[in-house]
Amino acid sequence: MTFRIAPAPHTKPARSTGQVMRLVCYALIPGALAHYVIFGPGIIIQLLLATITAVATEFLFTQARRRTSHNTLADYSAVVTAVLLALSIPSLAPWWIIVIGTVFSIGIVKHLYGGIGQNIFNPAMAGYVVLLVSFPLQMTSWPLPAELSNFSVSFYDATQLIFSGYTADGYNVQQLKAGVDGISMATPLDTLKTGLSQQLTTPEITNNPIFSGIAGVGWQLLNAAFLLGGLALIATRVISWHIPVGLMLGLAVPALIGSAIAPDQSIGLFMHLFGGATMLGAFFIATDPVSAATSNRGRLYFGLLIGFLVYVIRTWGGYPDGVAFAVLLANMCVPIIDKYSQPTVYGHKGSSS
């Protein structure tokens, strides 16, 4: 009888790539639920659209690259990219926004670089940035949080808005954005940014119903939900704490200094941490292993860099939020971070190499 030969170790991985990616999806459930509660049922349609597009793109590109699409689809990485992108864009954006973004993320950013594991840039964030610079109007048209809005958007309305641009009653997204006082309102970070650039002080700007709470209605809940999911990822050891902690430190320290120096001209610590895309970025986007640094020390540096860049972009840059740009810039620095953050190998203590 012949016996089967296999290389050591003769075990099965405790957790496969597919399982890791599925765990990331599960950890995004609190965030997605919060999204649904705050911004309405549009997110469901966006998630569906993104997932279908991602799987189809993944399938077509693996076919074109003559790879086995079964294994590639089974690793769920395309689904994670799709879900992250869907959660990043305004939930009532037209259908073609998410479709273009997802095709770009999966097809160009991931597969043209050689598929999973080979991409330099975070696919979801590269897709997001392409959408943001190409379609700025659609990409900044966030609906008002439900509790501030005059209109409650039903699932039917959301479908109508996403696929035709108007609800059955003939309203478009811009009209739905009008707040209780009839004035169109942007996101808290955007409002702050615009206000500060008009020489208003922070207390003047935040004297507005959208700023109730610590970081703006809705957004603080959304960030708390992502924080919850992110802590679950750390607890289940899907990610290490280094990148999220680095990112938050890199953002919080300059924010505290900024607030101390010029409290009336700065965004404030809680606004930085719980406004915008901070928590989603810290726990789910910057932690994408493929495009992040390798060693734990490197990951800490990588996180710090992203956090600092987010602060810089929010404070002096042209965009109200900066997570996507910061992540892409840090992605470019990964090779050099890796080079200078190698741990000391056993037996090399005290030697120069």
Partner 1 sequence: MQRSKELIEQGHIWTFPGGIHPPERKYAAAEPIRELPLPERFILPLRQHIGEPADILVKPGDTVLKGQALTNSKQHGQLPVHAPSSGVVSSIGPARVAHPSGLADTCIIIEPDGDDRWGERQAYADYRNHDHATLLNHIQQSGIAGLGGAGFPTAQKLALQKPLDYLILNGVECEPYICADDRLMREYAAEIISGAEILMYLADIPKTLVAVEDNKPEAIKVLTEALQDHATITLRVVPTRYPSGGEKQLIQLLTGREVPSRGLPIDIGLVMQNVATAFAVKRAIIDGEPLLQRVVTATGEALQQPGNYWVRLGTPVAHLLNQAGFQAEPQQRVIMGGPMMGFALPDLTVPVVKITNCILAPSSRELPDAEPEMPCIRCGACADACPASLLPQQLYWHAKAKEFDELEQQNLFDCIECGACAYVCPSAIPLVHYYRKAKAEIRNIAREKAQAEVARERFEARQQRLEREQQERLERHRKAAEARKQSQAEAAKTTGKDPQDAVKAALARAKARRAKQQAQSSSDDDS
> Which residue ranges make up the site for partner 1 (CB under 8 A)?
1-17, 19-20, 71, 75, 77, 115-118, 240, 289-290, 292, 294-296, 299, 338, 342-349, 351, 353
Least spacing, CB of residue 287 vs partner 1, in Å: 10
- As measured in angstroms, the least distance from the Cβ of 337 to partner 1 is 12
Six-digit token pair at 183? 């004035």
Q: Pseudo-torsion of CA 341, 342, 345, 349, nearest 10°?
A: -40
Q: What b/e sequence results for 105-120 when a residue is b if at least 16 CB atoms lie within 10 Å of its CB, and e otherwise? A: bbbbbbbeeebbeebe
Q: How far is the CB of 23 from partner 1 (least distance, A)?
A: 11
Q: Are 293 and 332 in contact (CB under 8 A)?
A: no
CB of 248 to partner 1, least distance (A): 20
Which is closer to partner 1, CB of 77 or CB of 191? 77
Q: Which two tokens stand for residue 97?
A: 């926004």
* Shortest separation between residue 15's beta carbon and partner 1, angstroms: 5
Residue 179 in contact with residue 148, Cβ under 8 Å?
A: yes
If the CB atoms of residues 64 and 168 are measured against partner 1, the closer one turns out to be: 64
What is the closest distance, in whole angstroms, from the C-beta atom of residue 291 to partner 1 in the complex? 8
Helices (H) and strands (E) in the chain, counts: 18, 0
CB of 4: closest distance to partner 1 in angstroms?
A: 5
Q: Which residue's CB is nearer to partner 1, number 110 or number 272?
A: 110
Min CB(2)–partner 1 separation in Å: 7
Tokens 């992108």 found at = 85
Q: Which two tokens stand for residue 214?
A: 């610590």
Return the number of other C-beta atoms located less than 10 Å from residue 335's C-beta.
Answer: 11
* Cα–Cα distance, 228 to 214 (Å, whole number): 17
Closer of 203 and 343 to partner 1 (Cβ)? 343
Identify which of residues 140 and 240 has a Cβ nearer to partner 1 in the complex: 240
| Closest C-alpha among 79, 70, 80, 128 to residue 104 | 128
Token pair in block for residue 235: 């607890």
Cβ 98 vs Cβ 50: under 8 Å = yes
Q: Indicate the residue among 294 and 315 with the shorter CB distance to partner 1.
A: 294
Q: For residues 17 and 69, which CB has a smaller minimum distance to partner 1 in the complex? A: 17
Residue 252 near residue 272, CB atoms below 8 Å: yes
Residues 6 or more apart in contact with residue 320 via CB below 8 angstroms: 140, 186, 187, 189, 190, 192, 193, 194, 276, 314
* Gap between the Cα atoms of 308 and 288, Å rounded: 18
State which amino acid sits at residue 295. Answer: S
Q: Which is nearer to partner 1, 6 or 260 (CB)?
A: 6
